Structure 1
Amino acid sequence: MAKMVVVRFWTPVQGFFYVTPNGLAPKGDIYCTHDKLTDKVSDDVDAELIDKTNLTPDLAHLVRCAALCNMSSIYQRDEKDVVIEDDKKVPELDNEDTESDDWIASGAPTEVALQVFAHKFGMGKPDLENSGWELLAEYQFDSTIKRMTTICLDKNTGLIYAFTKGAAERVIQLCSNMSTEADRAPVLENVNVLAAKGLRVMAMSYRKLDLPSDVTAEELQQGSRDDIERDLTFLAICGIYDPPRKESRQAVREAHRAGISVHMLTGDHEITATAIAKEINILNKNLSDADLKRLVMTGTAFDAMTDETIDALADLPLVVARCSPETKVKMIQASARRNNIAAMTGDGVNDSPSLRIADVGISMGKNGSDVAKQASDIILTDDNFATIIRAIAEGRRIYQNMQRFLLYYWILLFSLAIVVLVCLAIRDPAGRSAAPMSTLQMIYIYIAITPPAGSLSTQPASKTVMKEPPRPPTESIFNREIIMDTVAYSLGVTIVCLVAFLVPLYTIGDGVGGVNCDSDYVAGACDSFYRGRASLLVSFTLSSLVVMVHCRSYRNCEWNAAGIRETLRSKTFVGTFIFDIVTLVLFIYIPAVAIQGFRMMAITWEWGLDMGLVLFIILYGEVFKWAKRTFLKPMDSGAVDFDNEDGDSNSIKSG
């Protein structure tokens, strides 16, 4: 993901503050804009530049809370390339911001943003530790109570402080200076104001503990967390901007086109989650309040619903805010009951249960925890949602190419089988069946059709591959389209082969004139039979190349100008065509090879017949595709049209 950064914060005493964003680089000014929330500082904004060396006590505690209630670290690249914690390498965060290329970070992105914020005041964790602050104990973030706390000693004064950060609605309940509704109302109101800007909102607080300075970490850990996290003093709410990757919005649009429903389950505030979902196209910006209420809910509300109530919903909510690990599991289970295939992405330890039970668990390779990686089926090495969509497209391409490959073989093998069966009726004067192809011809055909089949297996994805609805998981590879194509093209190739064989057989002669022509050539008596075999071999071999081109697309025209250009750019097609023509000429016109080996002989006017039959199979295939385009349901009928920027239906079922 892109770099999170603190861009706003609000305190009860001074109001809003604007923080100049600069990626990971701990540089930038801080302005107090009082009661005005601004996106930038300009001449028409009443902004007071904050003197970082002369902070008010509350601001100083806020910065200490951001730095010390924090397990992340940032370093200049030339100082330390890899951060080592507890003898384990912590992956550095992906840096896409050229202004912060000199800095690397380790830890959760939210905490990194707060650590950078503290460094901008010259009060990052290393600075505070060097000036006498010491971390004594930590209560890790708990997704159930949505907060974390650290206990720190100020060696200069001997005082011990608890610093707590977390979800605003949870933290203010523990603050003594937020004991009444009148106290809490402006905080919650401004939480909504920041959240509406798409910012992640974090509440910061502290408490001075009445503990001796020589208290040990073991004694603190043995105490009650609830006893520490009480009577806190509320400091501020911080707005953290989590910029989506520039390709995320387009990736979501492509997912919708492909019939894939994208759901966002997040720990963010409901308003923040809604704003982000609209920004990246999970939600339509023009949804009515009623639709928003239906498609957006909190984890608490979702968890309170019974399975029967969830199953009765027209659609599963697209956004679930303030959700817990149990919420994600419940969503996966609800999706499974609707017979959907669910892919779950996650990076934290808390995501591991849902990653485990999802049909496809996808963990983050750069910033994901080891537990999440072990619980997942796939590790996403670049932590990029768009890569998942590209992987889906690639999976569909591979599946389509498998179908094309098999379809090509089935068409040719079925048509050959039909030709052989039909020709069982052709007898020589002794009453023996005369096979339309010799053994060596069959071997040659197998060799000739193999390169085109291989070419079909490596074709690029069709233009509609991500506009088609997901196929049902129970659907066989022998779907209706494949069966129709197999029957239709096999019939066409069969007609070509029978005409190519029977016309010379009964035009030059009156059927098979010699006895046992398969093993003994009798001049004159076997000529029509041998020329029919040669004509059949030519027409079938060239028709196999035509069928290969037809198989590139189930319904699109391939024998137009664009299709022919693409065909001529195919090295496999051109190479196979040259190979076929050269070998056919050699094998047909070298008498010893033709008569004694392939049991066929040179042809003349039959070339014209074969070329006409090749033209027939070209037209036959294009007419068949036209009929499918005209009379059958479009293959991309399950897609959603997103040509309009806000054209999100939000009613797509995942498949």
Structure 2
Amino acid sequence: MGDSVPADIRLFEVSNFESNEALLTGESLPVRKNPTMQFDDGTGPGDRLNVCYSSTIVTKGRGRGVVFATGAYTEIGAIAAALKDTGRKRREVKRDDNGKASFVSHLTKWLLTTYDVIGEFLGVNVGTPLQRKLSQLFLYVFGFAIVCAIIVLAANKFDPRKDVIIYAVATAVGTLPVSLILVLTITMAAGTKQMVGRKVVVRNMQSLEALGGVTNICSDKTGTLTQGKMVVRMAWLPGHGTYSVESTNEPYNPQVGGIEFTPLQPTDLPAQDQEAKSHSINPHDEPDTNEALKHYLDIASLANLAVVEKGHKDNGPEEWLVQGDPTEIAIQVFVTRFNWNRMSLSSGPSPRWKQLAEFPFDSEVKKMSVVFQNTLSKDTHIFTKGAVERVLGSCVSMEESGRIEPLDEPAKETILANMEAFARLGLRVLALASRSPVTGLPEDLSSAIDRSEFEKDLVFRGLIGIYDPPRPETRDSVQMCQKAGISVHMLTGDHPETARAIAAEVAIIPSPERMRMVRRDIADTMVMAAHDFDHLSDADLDAMPELPLVVARCSPTTKVRMIEALHRRGRYVAMTGDGVNDSPSLKHADVGIAMGLNGSDVAKESSDIILTDDNFASILNAIEEGRRIFDNIQKFILHVLAANVAFVTCLLVGLSFKDDSGVSIFVLTPVEIIWMLLVAGAFTETGLGFEQASPDILRRPPQSLKYGVFTPEFLVDLVVYGILMLISILGSSVIVLYGFNDQGLGHDCNSEYSTSCDTVFTARSTAFTTMTWDFLLFAWQLVDFRRSFFAEIFEKGGSFKAWTKRLWKNPFLFWSVTLSTVLIPPTLYIPVINHVVFMHNPITWEWAVIFIAVGVFFAGAEGYKWAKRVYFRRTVAKEFRKDITDVELYAFGRYMDGSEDGSESNCDVGKKC
């Protein structure tokens, strides 16, 4: 016991042998081995009960076997091989059936390899979709910048004067989103800090952007969807009824979580209205009025070696401490709820029970028994618990409604039917039995005792159902994912029936009632065993109408194949895991998510982000934060590109404005352009990166991986806002230049100031101020792509106070806009700074032109948003509207047909079947 297995071994002789295979399967309970069983080659590692694996730990017993795999050829070696990065940079040569390659194949290989190397250098074929799109954008914009510079030089007949060259360079720089990298880095860093507060540690910055595009989550069950701790879910006493324990976040605390009772037996619960038939009870009062419950609790408490008691851990506050086997701990916590703890019954100055003998659990008999003497009556009792079939085989009678009845075949069938009802709920079922008096105990209890002489003629007392319960918040989190257009898959090493029950409980699959309405071809594959899944070829998987939502008894290869199958369908996948066995799938997933509390170091190293609380709900927090970051990236990219489109077009159109010497005048000077980009632009765009998530961020589908940031709506926004700003800036400049000017446009106004240049310098001031205000107010318009800037005022229940409060929600953006506005007058009215540095004039009546021009832009932006709202209200799919009353129908309605035979489907998502 405690040894690490050195190789993969086929066992041929064992004695009570168990091993912990969490390293391979992720399941924490030890696996009991049976060398007499045989399995075919397709059986997964978790189901091969005649084999023990390299690096697993022996937890009980001993065994002998034949080594059949060592090193890299073991199951753990296969996992290590899957984690290796070959680092190949060259493409493979295509060869014919004889292994020969033609000259064309070699040439194609080297051309494609060269293309890959150049693409990697330029960043267009590596990184996340956003990174690739931005790399392509920079290449396009850089080419356009060169063209703009050439146009400026050509308009001035390639005059080599310094002011012309500087203007050409400034125009080219104006086309580049120079603040984008800075803002992107700050936004990512801020997002990382935000995630730490939401129990998410980011190891790979790329995953922040990737999270917003996740379409499928593949999650482990144990410890992520569930609590990773065994608890009693139900207890049945024949002829009396069924006790149910409420789910709680503190499974070891018997004082948290209530108990309900129903007189129905488990077989009747699925067909009845359980909520109407059950009622809460006070467990402390229950044994006083129920003799059958006392007998049941005596067995559960005393045939149990676990310790559950209050104490202090590491000098901390008082808490419930546990010690022992997980199953026995769960049962001991259950009886402690009834104030029937083993410690209080069998220890202390005047114990009620005194232990005389113990028959430990054995893999052959599959039960354990203890013999106790009642210190008051001096009667001896044997208490037994174990596998239902084995305990029933030792029983001759049963307690029912307070009477001892013969255990005939109908009674056994009833007990087995109730056991199956528990099993369908994903419970591990044990039977409890006892007998009194016990005779024939030797005086020397240290001598060998034949347990078969005592474990017989027992009275069956009831069943107890144990499971690893879902976290209380898991179901809501899964349904939030479904509202957000994300499918959740459970890939677990647990048994199919347990996986099915937990999946239904947390809403990964439909409830049993709704499952009967699912089309037959979908229902048959919604839950699959890894053995069946692995036997399907890639073509078979691709031909399935939907991939399974639950795969049980998973091996590491199974998880990787599921991710690859999702990738072939164009999905973006997040994978959670905590064990070494999860490492290959974490590496293959687009976003690998490791558990921080119970995760192995190998899993953490293979992941992109780590959940510090091992909670599925934190994945939803991470996705929400990823979508917020993606939205904000879209906002500041739109902000900088639309503004660049506006003033670069303005600069190019302005080249047609000629002064008295026939030389093109500059509508904006290079300093004004740099001011716009680095002062007004960089800070407001950084502020947009801090913008909070929109209220409907988790009621929208994931962003399209096909378009990335540059969706059709984004491109239309870019053109419309760019044109509105262009009209505003160019209009204000033209009005000042030609509307009220009878003196001409002066001479050499691009290099120095003279009184003849007053009109040109004043027009520049007007265009500069209009552009700055448009730029700043545009940032506030982009707080929401569709809602009005004044929504909090004019919407139902709105107020001016709510509007101002909304503006203050992002202090960085508020102060960026405010301070950039305050800095405009000094540039206009301080001598030297205005004429020499910025090359523009103070303004007077031109403020009226500015207000009108900015008002035109703002009104145009509000009108455009109104048109967008009308359009999307009429065309957006129903499944992405806000009011979702029936989440299950919303998530699975497209699989249903409204009947029970699954013949054809007439039901769509969001529509009533």
Which of 829, 844, 850 does residue 610 from structure 1 map onto?
Answer: 850
| 1:108–1:398 Cα change, 3 Å | farther
In structure 1, give the amino acid aligned to 2:690. T
Q: Secondary structure at the match of 1:520?
A: coil
Residue aligning to 2:892: 650
Deviates more, 1:481-490 or 1:452-461: 481-490
Q: Does the Cα contact within 8 Å between 1:7 and 1:19 map onto a contact in 2?
A: yes
Which of 709, 713, 718 does residue 477 from structure 1 map onto?
Answer: 709
Residue aligning to 1:48: 290
Residue aligning to 1:289: 516
- Displacement of 1:580 in angstroms is 4.0
- Displacement of 1:287 in angstroms is 1.2
Which of 531, 545, 548 does residue 314 from structure 1 map onto?
Answer: 545
Distance 1:321 1:39 in 2: 32
Q: Does the Cα contact within 8 Å between 2:765 and 2:843 map onto a contact in 1?
A: yes
Which of 535, 541, 562 does residue 766 from structure 2 map onto?
Answer: 535
Q: Secondary structure at the match of 1:425?
A: coil
Residue aligning to 1:90: none
Residue aligning to 1:626: 866
- Displacement of 1:403 in angstroms is 1.3
Q: Does the Cα contact within 8 Å between 1:315 and 1:651 map onto a contact in 2?
A: no
Q: Does the Cα contact within 8 Å between 1:201 and 1:237 map onto a contact in 2?
A: no
Q: Does the Cα contact within 8 Å between 1:10 and 1:237 map onto a contact in 2?
A: yes
Residue aligning to 2:834: 594
| 1:124–1:330 Cα change, 3 Å | farther
1:410 aligns to 2:637 (yes or no): no
- Displacement of 1:528 in angstroms is 1.0
Q: Does the Cα contact within 8 Å between 1:7 and 1:240 map onto a contact in 2?
A: yes
- Displacement of 1:620 in angstroms is 1.2
Distance 1:342 1:107 in 2: 38
Residue aligning to 2:630: 399
Residue aligning to 1:223: none
- Displacement of 1:458 in angstroms is 0.5
Deviates more, 1:623-632 or 1:14-23: 14-23
Question: What is the CA RMSD across the aligned residues, in angstroms?
Answer: 5.0
Residue aligning to 2:429: 202
In structure 2, give the amino acid aligned to 1:639. F
Deviates more, 1:624-633 or 1:494-503: 624-633
| 1:244–1:605 Cα change, 3 Å | same
Distance 1:603 1:10 in 2: 88
Deviates more, 1:233-242 or 1:496-505: 233-242
Unaligned stretches of 5+ residues in structure 2:
1-225, 267-276, 348-353, 374-383, 396-407, 434-445, 449-457, 795-802, 896-913
Q: Does the Cα contact within 8 Å between 1:464 and 1:636 map onto a contact in 2?
A: no
Q: Secondary structure at the match of 1:517?
A: coil
- Displacement of 1:543 in angstroms is 0.7
| 1:50–1:329 Cα change, 3 Å | farther
- Displacement of 1:244 in angstroms is 4.0
1:116 aligns to 2:336 (yes or no): no
| 1:357–1:101 Cα change, 3 Å | farther
The 5 Å alignment of 1:21-100 reads 23-25=251-253, 36=265, 39=278, 48-49=290-291, 60=299, 67=305, 74=308, 76-78=310-312
Distance 1:370 1:578 in 2: 48
Q: Does the Cα contact within 8 Å between 1:303 and 1:330 map onto a contact in 2?
A: no
In structure 2, give the amino acid aligned to 1:76. K
Residue aligning to 1:261: 487
The 5 Å alignment of 1:325-364 reads 328-347=559-578, 351=582, 354-355=585-586, 357-364=588-595
Residues 238-285 of structure 1: CA deviation (Å, up to 9, x unaligned): 313655444333322221111101233456676665554444333444
Residue aligning to 2:739: 507
Distance 1:36 1:405 in 2: 61
Which of 665, 686, 694 does residue 462 from structure 1 map onto?
Answer: 694
Q: Does the Cα contact within 8 Å between 2:762 and 2:841 map onto a contact in 1?
A: yes
In structure 1, give the amino acid aligned to 2:753. Y
Distance 1:265 1:164 in 2: 32
Q: Secondary structure at the match of 2:747?
A: coil
Residues 83-140 of structure 1: CA deviation (Å, up to 9, x unaligned): xxxxxxxxxxxxxxxxx97214579976642453477754479989x9799999999x
Distance 2:672 2:784 in 1: 29
Residue aligning to 2:787: 556
- Displacement of 1:186 in angstroms is 4.3
Residue aligning to 1:192: 420
Q: Does the Cα contact within 8 Å between 2:296 and 2:432 map onto a contact in 1?
A: no
Q: Which has the higher contact order (CA 8 A, sep 6+)?
A: 2
Distance 1:497 1:451 in 2: 21
Distance 2:548 2:740 in 1: 74
- Displacement of 1:547 in angstroms is 1.1
Distance 1:519 1:440 in 2: 12
Q: Does the Cα contact within 8 Å between 2:658 and 2:665 map onto a contact in 1?
A: yes
Distance 1:560 1:428 in 2: 46
- Displacement of 1:476 in angstroms is 3.4
Distance 2:853 2:724 in 1: 10
Q: Secondary structure at the match of 1:464?
A: coil
Aligned length: 586
1:422 aligns to 2:649 (yes or no): no
Residue aligning to 2:618: 387
Q: Does the Cα contact within 8 Å between 1:411 and 1:489 map onto a contact in 2?
A: yes
Distance 1:639 1:148 in 2: 56
Q: Does the Cα contact within 8 Å between 2:236 and 2:243 map onto a contact in 1?
A: no
Distance 2:866 2:329 in 1: 58
Deviates more, 1:13-22 or 1:550-559: 13-22
In structure 2, give the amino acid aligned to 1:291. V
Q: Secondary structure at the match of 1:533?
A: helix
Q: Does the Cα contact within 8 Å between 1:299 and 1:323 map onto a contact in 2?
A: yes
- Displacement of 1:333 in angstroms is 4.2
- Displacement of 1:645 in angstroms is 6.0
In structure 2, give the amino acid aligned to 1:513. L
Q: Does the Cα contact within 8 Å between 1:10 and 1:238 map onto a contact in 2?
A: yes
Q: Does the Cα contact within 8 Å between 1:298 and 1:320 map onto a contact in 2?
A: yes
Distance 1:328 1:173 in 2: 36
| 1:14–1:540 Cα change, 3 Å | same
- Displacement of 1:443 in angstroms is 3.2
Deviates more, 1:592-601 or 1:1-10: 1-10
| 1:48–1:303 Cα change, 3 Å | farther
In structure 1, give the amino acid aligned to 2:880. A
In structure 2, give the amino acid aligned to 1:545. L
Q: Secondary structure at the match of 1:478?
A: coil
TM-score norm. by structure 2 comes to: 0.54
Q: Does the Cα contact within 8 Å between 2:504 and 2:510 map onto a contact in 1?
A: yes
1:565 aligns to 2:804 (yes or no): yes
Residue aligning to 1:449: 681
